[in-house]
Structure 1
Amino acid sequence: MLSAFTTSRQLSGLLNRHGNRDQNSCANRHNLRDFNVVRDENEAPVFARVDALLESLQTPLPPPEDRAALRLRAQLSREQVADTLQCRAQDIEAWETGTSEPRGIQRAGYARLLAGLRLLNADQQSTDAAVEELRTPRLPLQATPQPRPASPILQTHRGTSRGHGFPRGPLAVIDQTGQGLAAYFADQSSTEVPADHLVDLLQWALEAGIGRDKLSTNDRASDPLLVLTPAAAQFLGLPPDLHDRARLRLPDSHPQIVSLRAAGFKLTRRGFGPWARAHLPVTDGKRASVQLALTGWGALSDRDGWNLPPLAPAALAKLLGTYADRVLTPRGSTAVCGQELMTALRPPTRARWSETDRRWVSSSNPGALWKSIEPAPPEAHEAHPLAQGRHPQDAMDEEAWDWSRTPTDTENTEFAHVVGIDLNIAFVAAASSASVGLNSTPRHIHNPTFDKRIPGTWLCDLSHVTLDPRLPSPFTSTGQAPTGPAWYTTPTLDYAVRDLGATIKPLEAYIRDDHGPYLTPWYERLRDAYLATMADAGIHPDIRQDEFLQAMKTLPEADPALLGLLSAIKATGKGGIGKLREGPRETTAPYQRWAALDSPTWRPDIRAAIMARARVNTHRKMIKTAIRTGRYPLAVLSDCIVYPAHTPSALDVVPSGPDGRGIKGLFCLGVNPGFAKEEGTQPLSWFHQQHDQGLNPARYIKNS
């Protein structure tokens, strides 16, 4: 393949130089040599006259889209070709898009160049095929150990993305500087970008050493990400905003889209929007794709869940580079990244050696989700076709709590304050080691025997299970006791039997025979990313509870970029879980299928199991806290719990052990996932005001 920085003099001699190859070359090489060799100086003017004659016969040219593709395969810029043909780069662009045609000697020279490039391309493909055959592995690939995340974010970036063939790191932020473009990388280096057009920028990205190594054995390396500032987008001829706000995409008739197509690039079905992906056809099994994020169009915005502070291009590249090293290269909203991380860590397919075919073939990856599955009727989203005509009591309600109660007379007398504690990435933590259904369709059975080892959705009556009224019921999202049979996940019934001693007799069930801990590596990667980022802020798992509270009080004063990174990591986990039950867009008619339903990771049953595990884990700690301290919660909203307190401090609510750390089995203050931090404190009178208005005080204790 030719260098992207071939000089115009080298280009002028390109065709002649290939005529000197040895006599054993293939037929393409012979043709190329015969076409190009100038045997003595007297032949040069003859060639000129021949070229003029060809022009007089209207020298044929390949279609415009082939012209750009031939140039790009040779890694030649428009400027290089224009310098050789003594014309402008804009002329080359016009010839490649078909808006104009070359004339005179330039037409003959252009046709001659394209014919030579076509021969060179055929020659290169045959050579690459031979080399690829020699490189074909005959043994299964081994897993590549993943280094620990770099720390801290404000130090020199040393992430894994700068190794194994990606010296520039996972991404570049592209900005306009002076009369051109500049690229800023995660390691704080920068360089000028030799591109005046979007096609040139994409080709540069494919050759610049940008990308990230695969996250798991069967994953593939991440595509280079280019983050375009508004100034860079304008420089490249892109509009400052999208007029198509409904579909969030550039019209297919836009000149830049036309140029991309002419150059051989294709777009995904989403088209060219805030998060666009352009790719060339796969050649010899090699992928050539670039991810684009246009910040002026809404990429990396609060709407996408990023909540990043205003940052200069270099600082933005550092933050996103750290996110890429600790989580994955951004590919859309934080929710999309959470979903993509699941797939990257457990890809749907893997390479398998076939003794029959004597070659590597693609096969389903055990432990992954590799096909879309219809939910059981109780699990279906309320807009799903299966939900049409369904009675509300026939829908499963495994959701987070929204519950509060009136304080007792004793609590009103004894306590003057309320304290809210918030559990760290509680729902991500609930995904750890959870056995969930994989690729088998739910099997419907009547009068089943409950088995805690089998993920499923069970119809069971738990109304006979009595609990202290000062606790929310672990069986409903309202915290009120169930009044009859309802659908529950396996974790909920397991808690009722094992922890609460309930006797149960399910009436029906939809069980999944194929199951496993699908989300465990996903949890572990987000856990490590979260802990590494908190460590950057000086907050570590081994500190005492009082030290943790003090450190958390100073956290808002930390570097805004670090806080933005922390927020993005948490939003990735929360959004990824939400994607498991993604609803339709507003334009979708009721009970009509929507695109997300065809994804292997659209799995409301998995989300329900996560929500149930988080709820029963919290309930278990509530009971143990009540036994040890006599305290009962006054309100719960999702992962925030409000307790009565003597003093306005979480230390008044959460007991400490002899070493100053939390007590196992109870709520503990600390940075670990599932541990708690102080959400806010208020007088007990404030709690009464909120509760008397029908509001859940847990929702407002942080912001009041």
Structure 2
Amino acid sequence: MASEEELFASVDALLEEEPQLPSPAERARLREAAGITQARLAVALKTSTQSIKNWENGRSEPKEPRLSAYQRLLKGWAAKHPAHSAPTTPAPGAVPITVPQPEPAPKAFTGPAAPEAEAGAPVKAPAVPAAPEPAARPAARPVTSSRRPAAKKAAMPAADPRFPHGPLAVLDGDGSAYGVDGIVLDCPATTIPDLVEWTLRESGLGAAKLHRYGKDFDPLIVLTAAAAVKFGLPERLEGHEQRRSLRLPEDHPVVKQVLKARWQLTQRGFGPWARIYRKAQGRERQCVQLAILSWDALDERSWPGVAEMTPADIARVLGVYAQRAITPRGSTAVSGLELMTALRPPTRAVRDEATGNWVPGPNPGSLGTDPMDPAPPEATPEHPVVVQSGWTGGFLNEEAYQWVRPVDTLSDEECLLPYAVGLDLNTAFLAAASRLVVGLSAPDHFHTPTFNPKIPGSWLVDLSHVELDPRLPSPFTPDGTRPTGPAWYQTHTVAYAQELGYNVQPIEAYLRRETGAYLDPWHDRLKTAYVDTLADLGVTRDLDDRAFLAAMEQHKQVDPALAAVLTAIKATVKGGVGKLRERPQGRHYRDGERWPALERPTWRPDIRAAVISKARVNMHRKLLNMSRMTGLFPLAVLSDCVVYPSPGASPLDFLPYAASGKPQPGGFRLGPTPGLAKLEGVQEMSWAVDLMEQGLNPARHIKGGDAVLDEGE
């Protein structure tokens, strides 16, 4: 029998823990019951109205000191306005039954000839719960290895009782499985089927879903080279012309072991990222993801230096990434695409009116479960839609900038400036994804439509009459050259021509009736991941521009593990957008054949075009504003990097500032958030001019300074 003193000590320990808040829906109910608006609550808590909205739809959580104040307020309201229904928190181990509430159907437009209508208005997305705030993990299984823990622990989310040991583990050759928070488990498995069984039945690994209609994440086991050999796998896979084709042959003993134990492999086979599964039993998934380090599962470009780290530090890097972005499912590009679906599940539970049972139904705001063919101009030349129809009407060419300013437009004053300074926009594609309205339904074909900037789609229009300064790239082409006649453009590109004051008269268009901000939760989660990771590296939002530049100079040395996480987050953004238009692979492919990527609902080249179009337009708008505010013109642009001639070796020497010292709005601004700029590199002006005369792009080389003449620019 516990003594009163022991009980009081336990209770005091609970009281000292971080305040726990009611569910986001309950927070909104209590505020509305009290008759308080979001704006008034924001004033009381000295925060923004948007923050209150985020707390009430589950996109973010308050931090101290607002957390305690908010909790106190909610407790007071709860006492005055108790809920009439019983609590919905399930008992430990119970499976909660969620009865979904009806959501509004996506809005439709009445036709492109009515630009004043609310055409293509964004659809309000279902609430997306954010990752839980850091909290103490419940007692882990005994640490049975004396291996050292990670040098520095990153904050992990509150433990789900079903997954007490986090989302993943790195398995070494001696049977030690290194998890998050320094946890080390003993893994007795000696075969791959044994490893799968141990992972699912005993390890306590996995992660909770990111959306109420989504699925929990399968546990990830990362095998070191020694562990791979222990399980009978080759240390390296060789003999394939493409990395993506790496896999064990079907007659390999390990593959036979897996199949004999009645487990299955996906069509990708047993490669660097292998998925081993059985069909789900009821609601219980039976699937384990394996990543083999010595088979280059962690690409050096996306995970710099991670494969060479100790198992404990690898677990830390991947654990932070899993907490802030997603449990890795393959390359960062694959993970970026999977994150879109995890945050916008294609289906939700709906009641069948005939039987009264709950069945899967479409989830508003998602891309659905069925693949959708693009309009011919949105497709690639080898796509069946193009080949089978004999389409010859041209294609969208919405790509990132690769532009070098003509040397003959350089003035003597510019050439005499001592420096060329490169600016890089933070995750420009992510910034472009914010509040981006895209099509959710199949395209419809229209002839001579009236242009409507609210409708996402592809427009055939002649923009060759738009006159711009030759010292700036054209906003309508990736190479910056002026259009020579009618061409296909995404909505944002045409809207920018209209913004510049030019008349646009589309010849035809492929437009979508159902629209929504599909990428919003994806943007919000990755933006938070990027900003939080930079802050952990000492680059915070409160720094002035000079301090920001100084912090960026040494942020990678502060913590190489977190610097690798930052690189992976950036690669997740760029790769995820690229995956929306994955091309066929392999030398045996023939034009007109379907390839595996086409069977995904997320094969959406029109959404990729919308992101890139908006990013390129955003870049041109800043270039144009800079020329008007400072008289400066760029030397070159490469995607999200721009090079300017400068009187000094710092961006502070040419960026526009007001008399108060604040950055001028509209131009390039320094800072740590997506869309703001950082220093990419500095070289002598003569170096940049020399490259330009050779037809090379200084923006490609400004960081390192070296140029390769045969790189195919």
TM-score range, shorter chain: 0.7 to 0.9
Partner of 1:102: none
Sort the Cα spacing of 1:187 and 1:508 in 2 relative to 1 into closer, same or farther, 3 A.
same
Q: CA deviation at 1:478?
A: 1.2
Partner of 1:324: 322
Sort the Cα spacing of 1:584 and 1:358 in 2 relative to 1 into closer, same or farther, 3 A.
same
Sort the Cα spacing of 1:410 and 1:162 in 2 relative to 1 into closer, same or farther, 3 A.
same
Sort the Cα spacing of 1:631 and 1:133 in 2 relative to 1 into closer, same or farther, 3 A.
closer
| Equivalent residues of 1:150, 1:157 under 8 A apart | no
Q: CA deviation at 1:244?
A: 6.5
Find the aligned partners of 1:154 and 1:387 in 2 and give their Cα distance.
54
Query: CA offsets per residue over residues 623-650 of structure 1, 9 Å max, x none?
Result: 2222211111121111111111111111
> What secondary structure, in the 3-state scheme, does the structure 2 residue paired with 1:491 have?
helix
Q: CA deviation at 1:148?
A: 4.7
Partner of 1:156: 153
Q: CA deviation at 1:160?
A: 2.2
- Percent identity over paired residues: 48
Find the aligned partners of 2:171 and 2:94 in 1 and give their Cα distance.
38
1:225 aligns with 2:216: no
Match of 2:213, as an amino acid? N
More divergent stretch after superposition (257-266 vs 532-541): 257-266
Residue 235 (structure 2) aligned to one of 236, 240, 261: 240
Sort the Cα spacing of 1:415 and 1:392 in 2 relative to 1 into closer, same or farther, 3 A.
farther
**Matched positions, count:** 568
Sort the Cα spacing of 1:143 and 1:479 in 2 relative to 1 into closer, same or farther, 3 A.
closer
TM-score using structure 2 length: 0.76
Q: CA deviation at 1:136?
A: 6.9
Q: CA deviation at 1:698?
A: 1.3
1:368 aligns with 2:328: no
Q: CA deviation at 1:306?
A: 5.9
Sort the Cα spacing of 1:163 and 1:413 in 2 relative to 1 into closer, same or farther, 3 A.
same
> What secondary structure, in the 3-state scheme, does the structure 1 residue paired with 2:182 have?
coil
Match of 1:489, as an amino acid? Q
Partner of 2:517: 517
Match of 2:411, as an amino acid? D
Partner of 2:109: none
Sort the Cα spacing of 1:524 and 1:643 in 2 relative to 1 into closer, same or farther, 3 A.
same
1:508 aligns with 2:468: no
More divergent stretch after superposition (585-594 vs 416-425): 585-594
Find the aligned partners of 1:655 and 1:309 in 2 and give their Cα distance.
42
Q: CA deviation at 1:253?
A: 2.6
| Equivalent residues of 1:280, 1:288 under 8 A apart | yes
More divergent stretch after superposition (221-230 vs 661-670): 661-670
1:466 aligns with 2:467: yes
Partner of 1:380: 379
Find the aligned partners of 2:319 and 2:367 in 1 and give their Cα distance.
28
For structure 1, the 5+ residue unaligned runs are 1-130
Residue 298 (structure 2) aligned to one of 275, 290, 300: 300
Partner of 1:427: 429
| Equivalent residues of 1:667, 1:675 under 8 A apart | yes
Partner of 1:215: 210
Q: CA deviation at 1:410?
A: 4.5
Find the aligned partners of 2:412 and 2:238 in 1 and give their Cα distance.
61
For structure 2, the 5+ residue unaligned runs are 1-90, 102-126, 137-149, 706-713
> What secondary structure, in the 3-state scheme, does the structure 2 residue paired with 1:302 have?
coil
Partner of 1:553: 553
Find the aligned partners of 1:150 and 1:531 in 2 and give their Cα distance.
20
Largest Rg, 1 or 2 = 1
Instruction: Indicate the structure with greater helix content.
Output: 1
Sort the Cα spacing of 1:309 and 1:703 in 2 relative to 1 into closer, same or farther, 3 A.
farther
1:571 aligns with 2:571: yes
| Equivalent residues of 1:161, 1:211 under 8 A apart | no
TM-score using structure 1 length: 0.77
Find the aligned partners of 2:463 and 2:225 in 1 and give their Cα distance.
57
Match of 1:434, as an amino acid? L
| Equivalent residues of 2:641, 2:699 under 8 A apart | yes
Residue 137 (structure 1) aligned to one of 97, 100, 117: 97
Q: CA deviation at 1:506?
A: 0.4
Sort the Cα spacing of 1:134 and 1:239 in 2 relative to 1 into closer, same or farther, 3 A.
closer
Q: CA RMSD in A?
A: 2.5
| Equivalent residues of 1:161, 1:325 under 8 A apart | no
> What secondary structure, in the 3-state scheme, does the structure 2 residue paired with 1:457 have?
strand
| Equivalent residues of 1:237, 1:256 under 8 A apart | yes
Match of 1:563, as an amino acid? A
Find the aligned partners of 1:413 and 1:281 in 2 and give their Cα distance.
67
Find the aligned partners of 1:145 and 1:434 in 2 and give their Cα distance.
20
Find the aligned partners of 2:627 and 2:688 in 1 and give their Cα distance.
20
Matches within 5 A, 1:329-368: 329-368=327-366
Partner of 1:562: 562
More divergent stretch after superposition (470-479 vs 661-670): 661-670
Sort the Cα spacing of 1:235 and 1:660 in 2 relative to 1 into closer, same or farther, 3 A.
farther
| Equivalent residues of 1:176, 1:182 under 8 A apart | yes
Find the aligned partners of 2:176 and 2:538 in 1 and give their Cα distance.
34
| Equivalent residues of 1:657, 1:663 under 8 A apart | yes
Find the aligned partners of 2:511 and 2:602 in 1 and give their Cα distance.
18
| Equivalent residues of 1:275, 1:332 under 8 A apart | yes
Q: CA deviation at 1:517?
A: 0.5
> What secondary structure, in the 3-state scheme, does the structure 1 residue paired with 2:614 have?
helix
| Equivalent residues of 2:214, 2:343 under 8 A apart | yes
Match of 2:642, as an amino acid? I
Find the aligned partners of 1:220 and 1:484 in 2 and give their Cα distance.
48
| Equivalent residues of 1:534, 1:540 under 8 A apart | yes
> What secondary structure, in the 3-state scheme, does the structure 2 residue paired with 1:269 have?
coil
More divergent stretch after superposition (260-269 vs 202-211): 260-269
> What secondary structure, in the 3-state scheme, does the structure 1 residue paired with 2:308 have?
coil
